[in-house]
Structure 1
Amino acid sequence: MINSTQVSYFTLAAYVDTGVFKYLYFMIILSLYMLIVCANVLLIVVICMNRSLHEPMYLFLCSLFVNELFGSTGLFPFLLVQILSDIHTVSVFFCFLQILWLYSYVCVEFLNLFLMAYDRYLAICCPLQYNTRMTTKKVATLITVTWLFSFLAILVLISLSAPLQLCGNIINKVYCGNYHIVKLACSDTTINNIYGLIYTVISVIIPLILILYTYLRILKVCFSGSKQTRRKAVSTCTPHLASLLNFSFGCCFQILLSRFELSSLPNVLQVILSLYFVTCQPLFNPVMYGLNMSKIGIICKSLLFKLCWEG
C-alpha cells in the first residue's frame, strides 16, 4: 500500500505524444492566454479608471474579470509547460495548489454571477430602494466575502484530501482534480464525499437556484412593465444569462468527464471539453460584456483609439 507521504508526484496520463505538433499547440494555447489577459486587463483598467463606472454593476463585473485572470493563470502557464515537456508529472504540493486555484475560481464565478443577478433584481424590481440597499460599502463587503468563502471552502476540501492514503499516483487528466485524487485513495473517503456534496450544494446548486429565481422575478416585472423597462432589462440581463449558461455548460462537461468513463469520445475531444470551463469563460465574458454594455463599449473604443493614435 502506498500512502500519501510516499507519493511525491502525480503523473498526468491524459497527455499524448504529439510530436512536432506540440509547438503548434503551444502557440495556440499561448495566443489564447495572451488574448484572455489583454481582454480582461483592458476591461479592469477601464472600470477602475473611470468614475462613471464606479457603480455596483460594474464593480461586480470588475471582480468577475479579475476572477477570469485568476482562473486562467492557474491553468494556462501549467499547460504550456506540460505541452513542451516529455515527462508529464506534477509535485503533490503543486497539484493541491492547482486544485485550490481552479476550484476557488469556479466557486467565485458562481457566487459572483449570483451577486450580479441580485444586483439586477434590485435595480429592476426595487428601483426606489436600490441606492440604499446596494451601497458601495455593501458591494465591497459582498465581493470580499465571496472570495474569502471560496478560498476557505477549498482549503477545507484540500485538508480532507491531503492526508488520504493513496494506492497510486496516476491522474487521467491534463491538470489536477480533487475527485481524481480521492479516487486513488485506499482509506475511507466518506467524509470527503459528504463534504464534496455539501460544497457543491452551497457553492454551485444554491447560487444557480437563486439566480434562476431572481431572473424569473425580473421577467415577471418586465412583462408587466413598459417597453422602456423591458428594453433596459434585456440589455443588462442578456450578458449575465449568457455568461451563466456558458459557464454552467462548461462545468457540466467537466463533472461528466470526471465521474463517468466516456471512453467512446476521442481523447482530444475529452481534453477540450474538460478545459472548456476555464478557457472559454475568461474569453467569453469580456467579449459579451464589452459588446452589450454600451458604457463599457464606448470607453473601450475611445481608449483603444487614443492608444492607436498616440502610437
Structure 2
Amino acid sequence: MDDEANVTYITLSGYVEVQKYRYLYFLIMFTVYILILCCNFTIVCLIWMHKNLHEPMYVFIAALLLNSVLYSTSVYPKLLIDLLSEEQIISYSACLFQFFQFYSLGGSEFLLLSAMAYDRYVSICKPLQYPTIMRKTTISIFLVLAWLLPACQIAVPVILSADMKLCYSTLKAIFCNNSFYNLNCVSSRARSIFGVFALLNLVLFPFLFILFTYTRILIISYQSNRNVRKKAAQTCLPHLLVLISFSCLCAYDIIIVRMESDFPKTARFIMTLQAVLYHPLFNPIIYGLKMKEINKHLKRLFCQAKVI
C-alpha cells in the first residue's frame, strides 16, 4: 500500500484501441492541431494588421482566439507524444501542471466571453457612453483579469493537491482533467471548497452575467428600429454560439467525475476529444464567417493568395 500511495507516474487509460489505431489517431490530432494554430492565428493577425479592427470587440475576439491556442497547446503536444508511445504515462507534477493550464485557460474563456458580452451591452444599450466606458485602460484591465483571476483561483486546489498521496495510478482520461481527483487516497475538504468557489466565480457567475446582458440587449433591440436589431444579431449571435458550445463541454467535464463508473469508455473518449477537437476550431470559424469585417478581410486575403 505504501508503494501505491507514493505514485510518481500516472497511466492515462482513456484511449480506445490506441495500439491498433495509433497512427490514424496521430494523423487526425496532428492535422487538427495545425488547423487550430493556422485558423486562430490568421484571424489574430488580421485584427492586429488592420486598423479598422482595432476596436474593443475585435480586441476581445483576438484575445479569445489566442486563449484557444493556449488552451489547445496545454493538451495537444503531450497527446501527440502519447499516441506514438508504447505507454501513455505522465508524471504527477506534469499532470498537476496540465490540470492547472487546462482549467485556468478554460476559466479565462468564460471571463473573456463575459467581457465581450459587456462590450456588446454598452455598445447597443448605451451607445453614447460607449467611447468613455470602453477605453484602452478598461480593455487592458478586463484582459489582465480574464487571465489572472482564473490562474490564481485554479492554483489553490493544485497547490493543495501537490502534497496529497495517490492510492491509484490509472487515470480514466487522455489528459489530466477533473478525473484526477479520483486518484487521491482521501478527499480534501479544503480543495473541494476552493473547487466550488472557482466553479462559481469562473463558470456560473460569468454565465449568468452573459445571459443577463444578452437578455437586456434582446429587450432593447426588440424595442428599437430594424438597424439596431440587425446590428445586435450580427455581433451577438457568434458570441452566444461560442458560449453554448463551451458551456456544454464544461457541463460534461463536471458530470463525468460524478458518473465515472457508469460512463462507457468509448463514450468518455469521444466526449473528451470534443473539448480539444472541435471547440478550438469552432471559434475562428464562427467569428470568421459571422463577423462582417473579419469575413471581408479574410476574403481579400484568400483572393490575393489565389492571384499570387
TM-score tier (shorter): over 0.9
Identity %, equivalent residues: 36
Helix, strand or coil at the partner of 1:167? coil
**CA–CA distance in 2 between the matches of 1:264 and 1:258?**
10
Q: Which residue of 1 aligns with 2:149?
A: 149
**CA–CA distance in 2 between the matches of 1:161 and 1:3?**
18
Matched residue pairs, number?
A: 308
Give every structure 1 segment of 4 or more consecutive aligned residues whose post-TM-superposition deviation is greater than 3 Å. 1-5, 16-20, 262-265
Please state how far the C-alpha of 1:6 moved relative to its aligned partner.
Answer: 2.8
Q: Which residue of 2 aligns with 1:218?
A: 217
Q: Which residue of 1 aligns with 2:297?
A: 299
Q: Which residue of 2 aligns with 1:127?
A: 127
Please state how far the C-alpha of 1:281 moved relative to its aligned partner.
Answer: 1.6
Q: 1:16 to 1:223 in 2, by over 3 A?
A: closer
Question: Does structure 1 retain, via aligned residues, the 8 Å contact 2:16–2:266?
Answer: no
Q: Which residue of 2 aligns with 1:237?
A: 236
Task: Give the aligned CA root-mean-square deviation in angstroms.
Answer: 1.7
Please state how far the C-alpha of 1:188 moved relative to its aligned partner.
Answer: 4.7
The letter of the residue matching 1:53 is L
Structure 2: which 5+ runs fail to align?
Answer: none
- Tell me the alpha carbon deviations over residues 8-64 of structure 1, each in whole angstroms, 9 at most, x when there is no partner: 111112124344421111111111111111100100100011111110000000100
Helix, strand or coil at the partner of 1:128? helix
What does 1:195-274 correspond to in 2, within 5 Å?
A: 195-261=194-260, 263=262, 265=264, 267-274=265-272
Question: Does structure 2 retain, via aligned residues, the 8 Å contact 1:13–1:88?
Answer: yes
Helix, strand or coil at the partner of 1:283? helix
**CA–CA distance in 2 between the matches of 1:270 and 1:188?**
23
**CA–CA distance in 1 between the matches of 2:185 and 2:257?**
19
Please state how far the C-alpha of 1:93 moved relative to its aligned partner.
Answer: 1.7
**CA–CA distance in 2 between the matches of 1:99 and 1:264?**
21
Shifted more, 250-259 versus 108-117: the winner is: 250-259
Please state how far the C-alpha of 1:194 moved relative to its aligned partner.
Answer: 0.8
Please state how far the C-alpha of 1:141 moved relative to its aligned partner.
Answer: 1.4
**CA–CA distance in 2 between the matches of 1:270 and 1:285?**
23
Helix, strand or coil at the partner of 1:269? helix
Please state how far the C-alpha of 1:307 moved relative to its aligned partner.
Answer: 3.2
What does 1:122-201 correspond to in 2, within 5 Å?
A: 122-177=122-177, 179-201=178-200
Shifted more, 275-284 versus 294-303: the winner is: 275-284
TM-score after normalising by structure 1: 0.94
Structure 1: which 5+ runs fail to align?
Answer: none
Q: Which residue of 1 aligns with 2:274?
A: 276
Please state how far the C-alpha of 1:262 moved relative to its aligned partner.
Answer: 5.8
Question: Does structure 1 retain, via aligned residues, the 8 Å contact 2:93–2:162?
Answer: no
Q: 1:164 to 1:221 in 2, by over 3 A?
A: same
The letter of the residue matching 2:111 is L
Q: Which residue of 2 aligns with 1:12?
A: 12
The letter of the residue matching 2:279 is Q
**CA–CA distance in 1 between the matches of 2:2 and 2:134?**
53
Please state how far the C-alpha of 1:275 moved relative to its aligned partner.
Answer: 2.6
Please state how far the C-alpha of 1:264 moved relative to its aligned partner.
Answer: 5.5
**CA–CA distance in 2 between the matches of 1:279 and 1:32?**
7
Question: Does structure 1 retain, via aligned residues, the 8 Å contact 2:5–2:185?
Answer: no
**CA–CA distance in 2 between the matches of 1:7 and 1:135?**
51
**CA–CA distance in 1 between the matches of 2:74 and 2:230?**
38
Q: 1:18 to 1:88 in 2, by over 3 A?
A: closer
Q: Does 1:105 align with 2:118?
A: no
Please state how far the C-alpha of 1:149 moved relative to its aligned partner.
Answer: 1.1
- Tell me the alpha carbon deviations over residues 48-103 of structure 1, each in whole angstroms, 9 at most, x when there is no partner: 11111110000000100000100111111211111121111101121111111111
The letter of the residue matching 1:284 is F
Please state how far the C-alpha of 1:288 moved relative to its aligned partner.
Answer: 0.5
Q: 1:230 to 1:146 in 2, by over 3 A?
A: same
**CA–CA distance in 2 between the matches of 1:188 and 1:50?**
51
The letter of the residue matching 2:163 is P
Q: 1:309 to 1:218 in 2, by over 3 A?
A: same
Q: Which residue of 2 aligns with 1:53?
A: 53
Please state how far the C-alpha of 1:186 moved relative to its aligned partner.
Answer: 2.3
What does 1:31-50 correspond to in 2, within 5 Å?
A: 31-50=31-50
Question: Does structure 2 retain, via aligned residues, the 8 Å contact 1:25–1:83?
Answer: yes
Q: Which residue of 1 aligns with 2:74?
A: 74
